[in-house]
Structure 1
Amino acid sequence: MTPADTGTLLDTAFWTSVGAILLLLILSGFFSGSETALTAASRGKLRAKADKGDKKAERALVITEDNERLIGSVLLGNNFVNILASALATALFTRLFGDSGVAYATIIMTLLVLIFAEVLPKTYAITRPESAAGWVSAPIRIVIFVLAPIVSIVRGLVRLILRAFGVQTDPDSQILAVREEIAGAITLGHHEGAVEKEDRDRLLGALDLGDRTVEEIMLHRSQIEMIDASKSPTEILEQALSSPHTRLPIYSEEQENIVGVIHAKDLSRAMYAAGQAAGETGRTEAFETFDILSVAMKPYFIPETTTLDDQMREFLKRQTHFALVVDEYGALQGLITLEDILEEIVGEITDEFDTNDAGDNRLLSDGSYSVDGGMTIRDLNRANDWALPDEEANTIAGLVIHEAQTIPNEGQVFSFHGFRFEVTKRVDNRIARLKIRKLGA
C-alpha cells in the first residue's frame, strides 16, 4: 500500500466510520451497564430511596415493574448497536486489508466489545446498582417507549414459539416471591457470616407465620390442665392458684364441653371481695356458694387450620391471647396463646413459673441428642441448625411414626433424612423419648 493509497483510504468516510464505531461501542456499554444495574438493583433499596424523595429511584422502580419489557428493550438496543458496529468494522477493515480484514475486524471488535462494552460497564454497575439504576432510568425509559412496538411483536413471537413447545408464560409473575427472596437473602447472609443464627431464626420465624397453622404449635388436649365445674369454689381457687398457668379452661360434665375460661387473678379477686362483703361469720358460706361461672370468660374457639399470622392479628384485635382449637367437627384439639406464636419468632420465653424444658433436647457425651418425642421438628431444627422435614408431621415422634409406618417399640432404630433415630422410651402408644444422631457425624 503506497502513501497515495493510504491517503485515499484515510478520507472522511474512514474517520466517519471510526467515529460511528466508537459511538456504537459507547452505546453498547450503556445498554450493558443499564441491564446489569436495573436487574441487580434491590427494589427494596430503591423503594427506600424513593420514599425519601429520590426521583431517579422512583423512576427506576417504575421501569423495573415489567422486567420482560425492560429486558426486551435493552437487549434489542444492545444487539442492534453491537451488530451495526461489527458490520461497520468489517467494512472498514476489508477496505484497508482486503479479505483478511474480516479476521482483523472479528478479533479487534471482540476485544473492544468484551472490555469496553461488557465487562467494564457491568462491573461498574454491579458495584453500585441502585445508584447506576437511578442515573440510567431516564434514558432507558425513552428507549423503552421508542422500542415498545418492536418489543411487543418480539414478545408475542417468543410466546408463540414457547407455547408450541408446551411452555406457558405469565408476564405478571415473578420468578421468586418477595418473601422467598427475603428468606433466601437472610439464609445466604447467615452462611456468609453477616447474619447471626439468632437473628436468622427470628426473621425467618416472622416470615413463616403466614405459612403455618395453629395446629402445628398448639398444646395438645392431652396436656391441657382443666377445671371441673362440679368442684367446690374453694377447690377451684386452690387449683387455679397452684397451677403454673394463669388461665384455665373450665368444663362441665365432660372435657369436651368447655363452658368458660378462668383467670386466676379474676377468680381470687372476686372471691376475696365476696368474702369481705360477707364478713367473718358468713365468709365460709360465701365461698361455698360463690358462682364460679360469673367470673369466667367466654371461651374463644378457633379452627385448627387458622394461620399463625391471622391468629396473631385476631389476638391483637380481640385484646386477648388465649384460644381453644377445634377440628372441623368441633371437637377440642388443643389450645394456643399469643405467647406460643411469639415464641415461633423470638424462641422459648420462660419465667419463674414455667417448667424446665432443658431436657427436651439434651446433648449426650457421644455426640447424639436425647430428644423428647413431643418436641416439634421446627424447634429441634432451630436449636441444632438441622433441616429435618416438617411437612408430614409436627413432632419428632410423629416424624418417626410417619417414616416407620408403625408405632416403634423401645430399642428400635431407624435411619432416614441423614439421621439415626433410636426409640429409648415409649409410654403406652406414645414415643416419649428418642436418641438422634446425624449420620456421618
Structure 2
Amino acid sequence: MRKMIGKFILFILFLTIFSIPFAQTSASGDKVYHVKIDDAVEKGLYAYLKRSFKEAEDAGAKTIILEIDTLGGHTDAAGQIGQLMDNSDLEIIAYINYRAISAGALIALYSDKIYMSPNGVIGSSGVITADGNAANEKAQSMWKAEMINAAESKGRNSEFALAMADADFEMPKYRAGKGEFLTLTAKEAADPEVKYSDGTVSSFNELLKVTRLSDAEIISTKVSFAEGIARFITHPIVVPILLSIAGLGLVVELYSPGFGVPGTMAISSLALFFFGHLIAGLAGYETLILFGIGVILIILEIFLPGGIAGTLGAIAVVVSIILAGGNPMYMAYSVLVAIAVAVIGMVIIMKFFGKRLHLLNKMVLMDATDTESGYVSNVNRTELLGKKAKTITPLRPAGTIDLDGERIDVVSQGSYIDKGKHVIIVKVEGSRIVVRESEEKGENE
C-alpha cells in the first residue's frame, strides 16, 4: 500500500515537473494587442496606430490584431500606416469585420494574415478627390503602385489589388467590368485562386480560436483624449467645416462692437485645427510660427498704411494652414471653401445690416457726401443770381468780372464777351458762375 502511495506521489510530481515547461511555452503567456480601425482613415489614425504598435513592442507582444471596418479616407495617411506595418516585427492580423474599402483595403493588404466576417468585403479602392470626382492621373498612378506594393509585400497576387484601384482593369468573374472597381466578398477573397483571405470567422473570439490565440492575454488599446480630438479634427469632412467657422467668425467679428462670441469661435476653431494636426504629426512648430507671424502682420495693418503688411499676413496665414494639413491639394480646397463661406457671410451682413457696421466702418468709407446730407464742396452763392457786373478780362468763355469791387471768376453762356462789357449773372452751380452780356447799363457801371 505504501509503495502504491509512493508511486502515485512520484507520478504526480513527474506530471507537475514536466507540465511546467509546457505551460511556459503555451500561448497563455503571450500578449496580443487588439486595435480597432472603425472610422475614416486620416492622420489622427496614423498617430494612434503608431502609439499602439510601440506599446505592443515595448510590452513584448508578438501579435497585433487590427479589426477593420472603414470606408476609407486619406490615401497619404493609409500609405503612412502601410509603411508603419511593413517596418514592424510584429505579426499583424487583419480582421475585416464588415468593410475594408479604399484606404482600408491597403491597410488590410499590408497585414500578414487576413480574416473576414461572413458579410465582409474588401476593395473598391479608386482615388476620389474631396469634390467626389476621380483624382488626376498622377495621383491614380501613385495609388495603383501602392496597392500593388502592399499585395506583393505579403506574397499576394497583385492583379486583384490593381483591379481594386483601376476601373479599367477588368475581372468579369468577380463583377469588375469596364469602369468598375473590384470588390471581393468574404467567400471570393478566400477562393484559392485569390487568396486575399485566410479564412472566414463569425466573431473575434472565433478568430482567436482559429489563430490559436485563445489563451493569450488580449490587450485592447483605446484612443486617448488628445488622439480622439486629432482623429476628429483631421477627418476629411471636419477640416473644411472648422476652417469655415473660423473664417465666418472673423468676418462677423469685424461687424461686432468689442470682442465677442464670433471672435472666440474663430480663435477656438483655429486653435483646434492646429492642435489636432500637431497631435497627428502633421503640423510642426514652424507652421505655428508662420501662422503667428501672419496674425501679427494683419494686426499691424490697422496701424500701418499701404496694405502691404495685411496682404503678407493673409498669405502667411493661408500658407501655414495649407502646410499644416499634410495634403496641400486637399488643404487648398478646404481653404477655398472657408474663403467662399466668409465672402458669402460678408455679403449677407453688409446687405442686411448696412450702416450698422462696427470695425469695417473704420476701414471702408460707407457714407456718401451729398447736398441733402449737408455736404458741399464749395459755397453755393445763389444770392448772385440776377446781379449785374462788368468784365475786367475778356471772357473766352472763362474770365473775370468785377461785382461791387469783388473779383469773381465766371464763364460766359457760350459767346465771346470783350473786356469792359456789362454782364448779368444767370446761373450759379457751386463754384461755376455763368453770365451773359447785358444790353443795358446797370447800376454797377
Query: Do the structures match in fold with TM over 0.5?
Result: no
Normalised to the residue count of structure 2, the TM-score between the two structures is: 0.25
TM-score by length of 1: 0.26
Structure that is richer in helix per residue: 1
Larger Rg: 2
